[in-house]
Structure 1
Amino acid sequence: MKPGVALPEVTFRTRVRDESVGGTNPFRWQDMTTADYFKGKRVILFSLPGAFTPTCSTYQLPGFEKNAQTFAEHGIDEIYCMSVNDSFVMNKWAEAQGLQAVKVIPDGSGEFTRRIGMLVAKDNLGFGMRSWRYAAVVNDGVIEAWFEEPGLCDNHGEDPYGVSSPETLLDYLAQAEKTEAA
């Protein structure tokens, strides 16, 4: 993906808490579209191979959560974490991580990830099809900046992490502000 490219229009199947459902699992299905998440907002979208996996749970997701206020000070309205996992898994992972600022987007079928060219096989890890690790600044549904880990391929022997880190995006935002001010 390149800056200036619009995100693909996709419908995501999400589960949202709704007390009117009652019972011990008061959730209902709610379809959300790309426009619902991105229209009229400047956001960070980062994607990773899987909920509950080591790098994702130890560094990437917590780093974005910890820096949420700093991102807001740089003009970011929302921070979204996407993975090729279903809504049940993503909601439980968000709960386990104690998320307050970062919101999760389940790309259960991998449709969005496929359409942006980031769907890779991770059969070597027993995962099946998953997302390659990346991050982006998205402004009103259009990519402003793209940060993709090197080595995009199926069944990669490593899990590179660095280019898509919160620190990289904070550096980008600080530089973009300096450029605008000049």
Structure 2
Amino acid sequence: MTICFRRALGTLVPAMIIGAVLGAASIAPVAATVAQPVDVNLQTMLPGESRAVIQEVTVSQRARVAATEWTTAGVDADWNIRLCTDTDCTRWQDLVGTTLASGTHEIRATITMPNQLDQGATASASGSITFIEADATLPSTGATLASGALGAGIAAIVGGFVIVLIARRRRAQEEDES
């Protein structure tokens, strides 16, 4: 019985060490994120009318756009959303990955209503823009090394138990034969 315990322990300890090392290796720095909401309220508009709204966004330090989200509701209006710095404007769809200097920037939303509108028709939009530190890495999204390490550790433990069970059966057969 002591020999089986030693074999099991001999299998478990390396599996635990491998799992711990792989788990520690999979720990990656995660960048701090800041999400800024963007809401557009244009009140009453007429068919075919265009209107623009500017909302300021303050970035406290050099940052990179990690994600954007924009949702519209109501009539099928023509929306043009851009983030503007002192020098240029970038379309909302192209913002992810853009690096911004610290300071105040503008989100410019322009809407053009369709020429044909039903009475009481509405249009609204809301969204958010998520910033991370400019030099930080984006957090992993999906399976990571840790899940693989967990699987390898479980496989090693199960394999160790199978080896111990096979050794017990062989020993029992050898004892029966003698």
Question: TM class, shorter-chain normalised?
Answer: under 0.3
Relative to its length, the structure with more strand (as a share) is: 2
* Higher RCO, 1 vs 2 (CA within 8 Å, ≥6 residues apart): 2
TM-score computed with the length of structure 2 as normaliser: 0.23
